[in-house]
Structure formats: C-alpha cells, structure tokens
Homo-oligomer: A and B are copies of this chain.
Amino acid sequence: MHRTKVKIVEDALDANNTIARANRSDFDRESVTVVNLMSAPGAGKTTLLECALADLDGVRAGVLEGDVQGSMDADRLAALHVPVTQLNTDSGFGGECHLDANMVRSALPGLALDEIDLLVIENVGNLVCPAEFRVGEDHRVMVSAVTEGEDKPLKYPLMFRQCGLVLVNKVDLLPHLDFDLDRFLYNLDQVHPGVPRLLVSARTGEGTDAWREWLVQTAREGASERAAAPA
C-alpha cells in the first residue's frame, strides 16, 4: 500500500499565507510586480501615487484600492487613466481595518493582469494590522508623515520593520512642526536598521521623482528576475 505522509507545518495552517502564495503565483505567471503600500490614515498614499503613476517611463501600472468604504481615492487615481479596482472592506462587522490575501484574491478577476507590469495595492489606512497580512506582494512600502511625530517607528515597530522602503512624507511642513527629523531617523534605524527611506512632499513634489524612479526600477527588476527564472 502506498502511503503518503504529509508533514503539517505551522505555516501551512495559516490560510492567509496559503492564499498569499496563490496570489503571488498568479502575479508571477503574468509577470506583474506587486507593491503593497501602507500607512496611517491621511499620510498621503493616494497623493504620492498621483505624483508617480501619471508617467512611469512605459511601465504599465494598475491600482487595487483598499478602503473601508467609498471610492474617493479610486476616483482620484482613475483620473490618471490608470486601471483602478476598488476593494471595500465594510461587508464585515464594522469594516475590516486591513486587506488580507483572500480579499485581494477576490479582486483578481477584475484586474487585467496581462495588461499591466506593476500593481500597487493601496492598503487601508492603519499602522497595525496591514503589516500582519501578506497579500502576495513583492514589496512592502510605507508612508510615514512627519506630522505624525518621531515616535511612530517605536510604537508601531512591525509595520516599519516589514517594509523595504519608507516614504517620509510632508517634509514641506518641517519648518512649522516641532518634529525632529534626526530623532525620527534614529528611531527608524532602531527598529529597521538601514531601511531605504526617501524624504518627500506629495504637496510640493519634493523627492517624488526618486519615488517614481523607485517604482520604475522595481517593476523592471521584477520583470528581469521573472524572465531569468526557470519556468
């Protein structure tokens, strides 16, 4: 008698991770690089996307827009003539405070993955739970506005630790704040030493070229890696 022994590992029991891997597999098949963009409410995710997505040097971008309710951000981004899919989380009890892999999976049929190179998933504004749920992304990027204070890396360490890029936004307001930028960067390095960071202002455009360039490079590198990988 043939017997197969399946070793149950903790990770395999985690339904979210299983679905995230399925999403990732679909993204890989269509050669789409995926960025999960996270921040507190009002940190400037949508405005930073408006700065960057209008011209990505030929990289074709799409957006999956996560909100508890409404479609205001999706409407703003659609004006850039970028395909945008809205995902609302308010069907659950009071509204989910994050996107999880299954929610993203439910939106995949509406995304023309074969027509884009880069998918940006704009998560629900929250510094806690979005960091706990992988959705199948290649990269996690977060926005931390200087108006939120220097202590945020220490108070929400998981979010800052799990990101590959931190956009420090609203730097145009620094002259009007008591915010100590050196202290913030020191705190950031305490929880995630050396993590790449860009100082930006979505309002004045300062630093947003570097953010745009990061997206272009990230999408191109993703495509190259997939082309080089064994089928």
Would you call A203 an interface residue if the criterion is a C-beta within 8 Å of the partner chain's C-beta atoms? yes
Q: Determine if B128 and A158 form an interchain contact, defined as CB atoms under 8 angstroms apart.
A: no
Nearest residue (CB) in B for A76 is: B151
Interface size on A, residues (CB 8 A): 39
Q: Determine if A155 and B203 form an interchain contact, defined as CB atoms under 8 angstroms apart.
A: no
A-B contact pairs, 20 of them (CB 8 A): A42-B148, A42-B152, A67-B155, A68-B128, A69-B155, A69-B156, A69-B157, A70-B155, A72-B151, A95-B132, A96-B128, A124-B128, A125-B155, A126-B126, A126-B128, A129-B129, A145-B147, A173-B173, A173-B176, A178-B203
Q: Determine if B125 and A42 form an interchain contact, defined as CB atoms under 8 angstroms apart.
A: no
Minimal beta-carbon separation of A70 from chain B (angstroms):
6
Quickly give the copy total for this chain: 2
Would you call A94 an interface residue if the criterion is a C-beta within 8 Å of the partner chain's C-beta atoms? yes
Q: Determine if B132 and A93 form an interchain contact, defined as CB atoms under 8 angstroms apart.
A: yes
Nearest residue (CB) in B for A147 is: B147
Would you call A97 an interface residue if the criterion is a C-beta within 8 Å of the partner chain's C-beta atoms? yes
Minimal beta-carbon separation of A92 from chain B (angstroms):
10
Would you call A40 an interface residue if the criterion is a C-beta within 8 Å of the partner chain's C-beta atoms? yes
- Whole-angstrom CA separation of A206 from B192 in the bound complex: 37
B-facing residues in A160-195 (Cβ within 8 Å): 170, 172-173, 176-178
Would you call A207 an interface residue if the criterion is a C-beta within 8 Å of the partner chain's C-beta atoms? no
- Whole-angstrom CA separation of A67 from B126 in the bound complex: 14
